[in-house]
Amino acid sequence: MKKTVVISALLAVLLSILPARAQRLYFTTEQLPDLIQCLPAPPDSLSAGFGHDVLRYFWGKEQRQDSLRAEITKRDAVWTFEALIGEFSVPFGLPLSEEATPAIWRMLVNSLSTTDQMRAAPKAYFHRRRPFEVFHEKMLTGEEASLSGEGSYPSGHTMRGWTTALLLAEVNPAAAEAIFARAAMYGESRVIAGAHWQSDIVAGQTSAVIGYTRLQTSPFFRADMAAAQEEFRRLTVATGQDGRENFVSLTEAVPDAILEIRYFGTYNFVGERIDGYLAPTALLTREAADSLKAVSDDVMRLGYRLKIYDAYRPQMGVDHFVRWAADRKDVKMKPYFYPDLKKSVLFKQEYIMEKSGHTRGSTVDLTLFDMATEKEVDMGGTFDWFGPESHPDFCGNPDTGVFDARTAAKQRRGLTEQQFRNRLILRQAMLRHGFKPLDSEWWHFTLKDEPFPDTYFAFPVF
């Protein structure tokens, strides 16, 4: 046992100094599991399973109407290691590239190159026709020429995506939820594209687990994985990108603030607790929290307290929003947050985005609480309302402080001058202490000099 540990350690040291392009296969094709023997046959065309495949195909066609989801699907179709690994950088919490993370990159490329060998045999053996071939329709991604006549079962893209998730979650277990949520979307992209049936996706995920399990038996893989984990530890300790030690709880940093963390509960535009919110707490980077404490002290002198709706938001929470927005049928909260909008435009109008400034840790959503009345200050609209009424320049100019009574009178939900002035009290206090506003949300502010402008954190709110 000790000899094995020593050998693995020596291999890790050796591999860490090899050039990143020194690619190796951990096993030959013959040494890998035979997926023909491992996988069940794809569903028969008369089976209930195939009926589900057909329903999912038409579901995928509906998703193409969402511009952001369609864009993600097109990106996910690119068959290169650079494109694949790049997509997982955000949920992983660290930019991944051959130059920036050579040990992690080498482990991923070696592993994927090895397990890729497994998919050719079942594709040829089952030789299943793809959805776009069966329905004689064009694909979203324009891959018809390259995929026509190639077996559909299992999905190679899904196998790659799920294998990448398994490997990256072993390197950074704290980000596992966000990583696997992205991997699930990666597989769904192949249904949306028209490249695969849902059962192909499931088989691709199963194949990934089989291949990943086999990788664990290779001492060379274990050495590469050890080097990848050590590189991650070194980089995150050096940069703070594991995140938690650079964040503080607002309960401690801004003790006068009131917390009403909407995404921990069900009263929000999704209507359920959002992924990654494990406690009703608010976290911010130390720098943002210090500035927010100054804001709190400022408004306290005016008779107000800050009320916090959201602060740091983990990437898995953002991914939850994206999945929700793609589900056209889930509109239970529409009357409360977006009564005037179709759900299909939420991506296009950037109410829902694939990345959020909240995930960088220095953005906060908040309002004012009047200590005299013991009520929230009337801002003329609720937090997370999707519509022009939430814009800071609705019914006036927030920079000059001029209220436009004529325009307000013409609006169905026009602000009163007092509501406009209330918004200005919050805005001006935030701007005085180093925050910048957002053009579309009166409650949203980001620290101008945020310490992690290019990092999207993945650890949960705890």
**Spatial distance between the Cα atoms of 421 and 102, rounded to a whole number of angstroms:** 54
Q: Are residues 208 and 304 in the same domain?
A: no
39 and 177 belong to one structural domain? yes
202 and 302 housed in the same domain? no
Do 258 and 174 share a structural domain?
no
Do residues 150 and 123 lie in contact, with contact meaning Cβ atoms separated by under 8 Å?
A: yes
pLDDT at 237: 64
Residues 177, 294 within the same domain: no
pLDDT < 50: residue spans in the chain: 1-21, 240-241
Q: pLDDT value at position 15? A: 43
Mark which of 181, 215, 239 sits at the end of a domain. Answer: 239
**What's the rounded Cα separation, in Å, for the pair 330 and 268?**
13
Instruction: Identify the pLDDT of residue 113.
Output: 97
Residues 443 and 326 in one domain: yes
Does residue 283 lie in a domain region?
A: yes
Q: Is residue 81 part of a domain?
A: yes
For position 261, which CATH number holds? Answer: 3.30.1380.10
Scored b (16 or more CB within 10 A) or e, 44-75 reads eeeeebbeebeebbebbbebeebebbbebbeb
Provide φ and ψ at 368, rounded to 5°: -110, 145
Residue 458 lies in a domain: no
- The answer to whether residue 167 sits within a structural domain is yes
Q: Is 441 a catalytic residue?
A: yes
234 and 259 both lie in a single domain: no
**Does residue 296 share a domain with residue 201?**
no
> How many domains, in total, are found in the chain?
2
Give the per-residue pLDDT at 242.
52
250 and 203 in a common domain: no
Is residue 104 within 8 Å of 131, Cβ to Cβ?
no
Which range marks the domain in which residue 374 is found?
244-447
| Within a domain: 457 | no
Residues 318 and 185 in one domain: no
Q: What pLDDT, on the 0 to 100 scale, is given for residue 341? A: 94
| Cα angle 368-371-373, degrees, rounded to a multiple of 5 | 100
Could you tell me if residue 421 is left (phi over 0), alpha (psi between -120 and 50 degrees) or otherwise beta?
alpha
Domain boundary pick from 239, 264, 279: 239
> Is 455 within the bounds of a domain?
no
Q: Supply the CATH number for residue 30's domain.
A: 1.20.144.10
Catalytic residue among 188, 389, 441, 450: 441
Same domain, 84 and 211: yes
Write the DSSP symbol of residue 416: P
Given 205, 239, 273, which residue is the final one in a domain? Answer: 239
Q: Has residue 456 been placed in a domain?
A: no
Whether residue 110 contacts residue 22, with contact meaning beta carbons closer than 8 Å, is answered with no
